[in-house]
Structure 1
Amino acid sequence: MAGGGGITPIESGIIEYAIFIVLLPMLAFPIILFLGHIFNGNQTWVKSA
């Protein structure tokens, strides 16, 4: 019979990368705020009418 209580490699890989679900938005948000503060009012990205 096949043993059933072990963790498959797929499940352990998902658990290892699960921390990035929390960390990446926390790291990206300050970068977006910083870039928005720098380019606020500049017409480098979008040309306004």
Structure 2
Amino acid sequence: MIQYIIIGILFIIALVFMIRKFIPTKTKQQGCNKGCGCSMTDVEKKSNF
């Protein structure tokens, strides 16, 4: 019985981890990759609506 509880807890933790990985967060700062040719001020102007 205890092994089913442990497996269930591990499954729920893995499920939460996967859901959080695929849902975009609002706190991440979107920017360009290195070498894209734009300056950081361009990126800041775009993100400050």
TM over 0.5, yes or no? no
Larger CA Rg, structure 1 vs 2:
1
Which range, TM-score by smaller chain? 0.3 to 0.5
TM-score, normalising length: structure 2:
0.38
